[in-house]
Amino acid sequence: MIARIVYFGLLLFTFFPFVESSVALLLGIGYGLIFQNEFGEISKRYSKKLLNIAIIGLGLGLNLHEAVSVSKDGFFLTFISVLSVFTLGFVFYRLLKINKNTSLLITSGTAICGGSAIATISSVLQLKANQITIAMAVVFVLNAIALMIFPFIGHYFQLSQYQFGLWSAIAIHDTSSVVGAAKQYGEQALEVATTVKLSRTLWIFPLALLIGYFNKKENSSYKFPYFIIGFIATMLIATNFPQGEKVYHILQGISKQ
């Protein structure tokens, strides 16, 4: 009885916007260590569906016109960054001999946009919850460390506002952590970081489609990730109907939870 009360209490608590994904992850791990999850099968059944819906909702936070404009300025820089991270990810995968899918999730999250990229790629590959949890944990720990030490390093090396904004947008995974670190450094750093990070986030489209294509060749039971179409649709809605910006912001916030 107590386990059920705690379960639903934590479930409701994680819907509040001030609860970060990393906190929700830690609460889930803690619950699993203390209690036996009576709703394991139900969680497995609905978690992927809810994840896909959440990814679609994230599209409401992107403006296509702004994204395309930003991409023209930051295309080459973000391309080199993404390519370098995936090259290093492959090297470490071969050297450390870790699980291929876990390595791919961690690399995707590191290269593009943290938890959002991991959620998207895991849905494309239809992976198990434990693989997603490991990747999320690694990325969130790195995000937390970066949020604390990046401003200190920037001041130590006397980086300009522009340099720090550029560095944080390329080096930090999750968008919220990029914003948090850059905001500590200054307004110009925040503006640069937000702009470049938006350009970096767009790489999730070709990555998801490319991984889906190769997965289809290896897995006969592969299903096309239609939630990607939903993501594009919500982004188009947010772009062409800006009157609902306040509603979009609320829905995107819920999706991030």
When comparing pLDDT for 185 and 17, which is higher? 185
Q: What angle do CA 70, 108, 96 make, to 5 degrees?
A: 145
Mean per-residue pLDDT of the chain:
80
The predicted model scores a pTM of 0.69
b/e per residue, 154-187, with b = 16+ CB within 10 A? beeeebebeebbbbbbbebbbbbbbbbbbebbbe
High-pLDDT (> 70) share of the chain, %: 83
Read off the pLDDT of residues 173-191 as tens digits, 9 standing for 90 and up.
Answer: 887 788 888 888 988 888 7
Spell out the residues 6+ positions from residue 247 whose beta carbon is closer than 8 angstroms to its own.
Answer: none
C-alpha dihedral (242, 245, 249, 255), degrees to nearest 10: -50
High-pLDDT (> 90) share of the chain, %: 12
Read off the pLDDT of residues 46-64 as tens digits, 9 standing for 90 and up.
Answer: 766 776 777 777 777 777 7
Read off the pLDDT of residues 93-138 as tens digits, 9 standing for 90 and up.
Answer: 989 888 888 889 999 988 888 877 888 888 788 777 777 888 888 8
Task: Determine the pLDDT at residue 60.
Answer: 78
Q: Is 222 left (phi over 0), alpha (psi -120 to 50) or beta?
A: beta
